[in-house]
Amino acid sequence: MQELIDTGMLLAHRMRHDPLLSAGARLSLGPDMKEIFDGGSLPGWIQVTEQLLTQAKQQDELLSHINPPTTAWTLSACWTGAQIYSQTLSNREDLEHRIADLYQHILPTVVTPTVLARLDLTPTRGAHVHTETTTKGDPGKRSDSAPH
């Protein structure tokens, strides 16, 4: 489950600091994106979320009633809504805090209490993952940019 959180928090962090990513996100939510780009980035985001939730379910990290496809759609919609609200109300200045709040509110109904207790849901998690994955010369540096 931490990989799912890290993915969302890293994206929130990067959206605040990467103008190209930020512009792409705005464009992907435009009204014509379904026709132009087959739904923009949303189908891919839902699919990645579903894959990570399915992995978590196989590892007994999710509560028994959780359906990964349904939960992936819901989490993705909530994340996107928080991002839109943050863009509208604060020019994304509070995005990392809002996404952390979102996870802190929703995850108790999704993951087991044992897993929840060990997840890093802090607003600074995305910045930490970004530093960890981009620091040069660090022996612990990962070879890819995906959070683990």
Under 8 Å between Cβ of 28 and 15: no
Classified as helix, coil or strand, 91 is: coil
Nearest to 53 by CA among 34, 76, 36, 31: 76
Long-range contacts of residues 87-92, Cβ cutoff 8 Å, at least 24 apart? 87/26, 92/15, 92/16, 92/22
Q: Which residues contact 46 (CB under 8 A, 6 or more apart)?
A: 72, 73, 76
Instruction: Kindly report the CATH number that applies to the domain delimited by 2-26+40-134.
Output: 1.10.357.10
- Decide: 109 and 116 in contact? Cβ < 8 Å: no
Domain spans, the chain: 2-26+40-134
Report the pLDDT value the prediction gives residue 137, as an integer from 0 to 100. Answer: 46
* Residue 4 CB partners (closer than 8 Å, separation 6+): 49, 52, 53, 56
Question: How far does CA 85 lie from the centroid of its chain?
Answer: 16
Cα four-point dihedral sign 91, 72, 10, 127: positive
Question: Going residue by residue through the chain (148 aa), what tens digit of pLDDT does each one get?
Answer: 999 999 999 999 988 876 666 655 555 555 555 554 455 667 888 999 999 999 999 999 999 999 999 999 999 999 989 998 998 999 999 999 999 999 999 999 999 999 999 999 999 999 999 999 988 545 444 444 444 3
pTM: 0.80
Classify residue 50 as left (phi > 0), alpha (psi -120 to 50) or beta: alpha
Q: What is the pLDDT of residue 40?
A: 60
In the chain, the N- to C-terminal Cα span, in Å, equals 10
